[in-house]
Amino acid sequence: MGKTESRKSLTYVDGTWHEETPRVLGPDHHAMWLASVVFDGARSLARKAPDLDLHCARVIRSARYLGLAPELTGPEIEKLAWDGINQFPADAELYLCPMFYAESGFVVPDPESTKFVFAIHDAPLPAADGFSACLSSFRRPGRDMAPTDAKASCLYPNVARCVREAKEKGFDTAVVLDPIGNVAEFAYTNLFIAKDGAVHTPAINGTFLNGITRQRVIQLLRDDGVEVVERAIEFADVLDADEVFASGNFAKVHPCTRVEDRHLQAGPMYLRARELYFGFAEGE
């Protein structure tokens, strides 16, 4: 391996860390042609890894939900994560991506063929300068339509077409509705609005993941005395909000500064949520 100062990524496969991306899939592997892949995303920010244990536990739940048979435990994945993190510079901002996939099976994946890969990438935290969003014409599937209880790769082509449609209209991302027409989330981040001093967010209904960063932001705000309401939210509520912001693992807490033709400011509820979150992360 080269010097840690120049390292951009590491990948763990079959007991070894590789600096060059190793070959792990072939055309006959189940994951390649039938999408039996789950993953999770965590963050290391200057060797602080907020909620890393929860991300490691969730990737195992996702694997089991897809019919895979992960042999690693959450603490074992967490230990591997720290082994990889410590091979980067101390101030590195990293994206951590543990994955399980199936090598064999026909339609149904063979659980005994489950494999594990862990990729760590250099990924600076995006600047919190705001993003724009429009309403997507596509919707999130329900639990009876897709494996929405897992962080499964097969769900992301739908995410991609929501984002692609938004970008073609001149926006950064999209607000996506659930099958009955309520707001589910942004294309790939959880959605919050602020109105009259309270924070509101769509209630979990099986159409989108209850994000780990989402849960942390809700807890931190409530502990700080902020009223957080989980409920059915209509797109009209988003258009009428005092503030709109997002939570997600990659960027953590970010303000939405434009919804359709309406421009918004990064307001006090967003700023408090971000301050609380990064205070928590630093404590980790």
Which residue ranges make up each domain of the chain?
Answer: 4-122, 131-283
Indicate the pLDDT class of residue 20, thresholds 50, 70 and 90.
confident
pLDDT of residue 284: 75
pLDDT for 1 beyond 50: no
How far, in Å, CA of 40 to CA of 273, rounded? 23
Cβ-based neighbours of 30, under 8 Å, separated by 6 or more: 36, 101, 102, 103, 104, 105, 109, 110, 113
- Picking from 109, 42, 33, the residue whose alpha carbon sits closest to that of residue 70 is 109
pLDDT of residue 262: 98
How far, in Å, CA of 87 to CA of 45, rounded? 14
Indicate the pLDDT class of residue 2, thresholds 50, 70 and 90.
very low
pLDDT of residue 210: 97
pLDDT of residue 6: 52
First CA to last CA across the chain, in angstroms?
29
Cβ-based neighbours of 76, under 8 Å, separated by 6 or more: none
- Picking from 154, 171, 153, the residue whose alpha carbon sits closest to that of residue 162 is 171
Comparison of pLDDT for 224 and 7, the residue scoring more: 224
pLDDT of residue 7: 67
- Picking from 98, 153, 84, 88, the residue whose alpha carbon sits closest to that of residue 124 is 88
pLDDT of residue 3: 35
Percent of the chain with pLDDT over 90: 96
- Picking from 186, 188, 192, the residue whose alpha carbon sits closest to that of residue 243 is 192
pLDDT tens-digit series, residues 101-129: 999 999 999 999 999 999 999 999 999 99
Indicate the pLDDT class of residue 44, thresholds 50, 70 and 90.
very high
Q: What is the mean pLDDT of the segment spanning 218-240? A: 98
Name residue, tokens 């690693």. 72
- Picking from 225, 228, 153, the residue whose alpha carbon sits closest to that of residue 191 is 228
Cα angle 79, 81, 84 (rounded to 5 degrees) comes to 115
Side chain identity at residue 61, one-letter code: R
Largest CA distance in the chain: 56
pLDDT for 80 beyond 70: yes
CATH of 4-122, one of 1.10.3720.10, 3.30.470.10, 3.40.190.10, 3.90.920.10: 3.30.470.10
pTM of the model: 0.94
pLDDT for 183 beyond 90: yes
How far, in Å, CA of 233 to CA of 210, rounded? 15
Encoded tokens for 283: 């404590």
pLDDT for 51 beyond 50: yes
pLDDT for 265 beyond 70: yes
- Name all contacts of 106-115 with Cβ < 8 Å and 24+ positions apart: 107/34, 108/67, 109/30, 109/31, 109/34, 109/36, 109/66, 109/67, 109/68, 110/30, 111/67, 111/68, 111/69, 112/69, 113/30, 114/63, 114/68, 114/69, 114/70, 114/71, 115/24
- How high does pLDDT run on average in the chain? 96
pLDDT for 85 beyond 70: yes
CATH of 131-283, one of 3.40.190.290, 3.50.50.60, 2.40.30.170, 3.20.10.10: 3.20.10.10
At residue 163, the 3 state secondary structure works out as helix
